[in-house]
Amino acid sequence: MNKILFTHNKGDNCFETISEFISWIKDKDISDLEIKSEIEKINETSIYNLLNFFQFYREVKGICILENEDYNKDLLDENIDEAREAILELIRMNQGGKYLRGTLAALGYRTLKDDDSYKYLATALEIFQTSILIHDDIIDNSRFRRGQKTIPVSYAEKYNKPVYSNMTFETKIQNFSNSMGICIGDLGFYLANQIIVKNYKNNPNLNELLDYYNEMVIKTCKGEMLDVELPFKEEFFETDADLENKIFEIYKLKTAWYSVIGPFCLGLILAGITKEKIRQVETALLNIGIAFQIKDDLLGIYGNEKELGKPVGSDIEENKQTILYSYTMNTSYKNELKKYYGQKVTSESLQKVRKIFEDSKAKEYAEEKMNMLFTKSETEIEEMTFIGENEKNILKGFIIYLRNRKK
């Protein structure tokens, strides 16, 4: 048995923060741990909930990876070279994900049933997310995702030495590379639908499952449109008077729905839950999703690039409208932030923006809002009487993981 101690003293298997503990347990056997804490704010019950989540997460992730690999192999049944290469690009990007959405779908399903029929839904959600990210990378002009080159970058490098060159090549290679990314992302969306229909055609809940899945996709698209327009308006027009509320609308429509509410509720629907109970779950999970995105915003500025798998500070270059930005724009640091926001990021300018967010209290405000939402969601989860204690504890562990993650 491994004895784990949360303490401010150094030693073997001693940790000062939950984040340190999470980094340690990634590749460890967590089936037989004894937890003690000398740190008042770190509750032993919470750590056991975190372990429950990790045990479930590892089990489901293993199943999902195998199913995803089998599915990726099946996609390669293509004779046309260009189409096969495009599918290989989709497969390349459809690897290395965290499978958190698949885990939530599995948890929703396993609330009512005890088998692995959720794995096809998880595969569909994974390829849907990959497709959203492919389009997102084009919108944001991103070069890296999940530690890999994005699809436009990959195509631009493939065709970087033309046989016949003229003045229009540089423009056309960019348009071509982005167009291929759009096409591949579009393909992924329809493949996700196909997976659901093919594998659940005999499930009596298929109609409701597809209806809810499409509702999730529509909300995500609406959130993305708002996410695209707000930075443009902010850069060339005046600051929106209702900016923070619109930012929270993005958090709800994008992150909350496609990262948390949608996956968990789709798992429940697949298992046959009633609509009335779904609405109660949506309310509880909405706060987790919003807090999830606030954590992403904080990591986008204060995270570690190697752990994130994408450049830190990209939100600054993209003029991304976040809770950190909107709060600062209502302080005396507004003009100082404007000097750096929307500009190319250097190590110096990143440090400047970090300090502005700290001095303006934007970072503190975001952290307080995130923690309040996570705490509220824990209370709402406890009130869901139709979900078992084990599933509740796993959800609470998921919240602890999200609150303390580094990527």
Beta strands in 8-81 (DSSP E): 14-15, 33-37
- Backbone phi, psi, residue 382, to 5°: -65, -30
In a domain, 6, yes or no: no
pLDDT score recorded for residue 367 = 97
The 10s digit of each residue's pLDDT in 161-218 is 888 777 688 889 999 999 999 999 999 999 999 999 999 999 999 999 999 999 999 9
In a domain, 304, yes or no: yes
In a domain, 292, yes or no: yes
For residue 369, give the CATH number of its domain. Answer: 1.10.600.10
pLDDT score recorded for residue 133 = 94
The boundaries of the domain holding residue 203 are 43-404
From residue 177, alpha-carbon distances to 191, 267, 310 in Å are 21, 36, 20
Cα dihedral 313, 318, 321, 323 in deg (nearest 10): 0
pLDDT score recorded for residue 309 = 67
Query: For residues 69 and 268, what is the distance between their CA atoms, to the nearest angstrom?
Result: 25
How far the first Cα of the chain sits from its last, in Å, is 29
- Backbone phi, psi, residue 38, to 5°: -100, 0
The count of domains in the chain is 1
In a domain, 357, yes or no: yes
**Distance of alpha carbon 133 from its chain centroid, rounded?**
10
In a domain, 17, yes or no: no
Angle separating helix axes 119-140 and 81-93, nearest 10 degrees: 100
In a domain, 23, yes or no: no
In a domain, 10, yes or no: no
**What would the DSSP string read from start to end of 367-389?**
HHHHHHHHHHHHHHHHT-TTS-H
In a domain, 169, yes or no: yes
Identify which of 30, 29, 127, 21 has the alpha carbon closest to the alpha carbon of residue 70.
Answer: 127
- Residues in the chain where the model's pLDDT stays below 70: 1, 167, 309-310
| pTM exceeds 0.75 for this model | yes
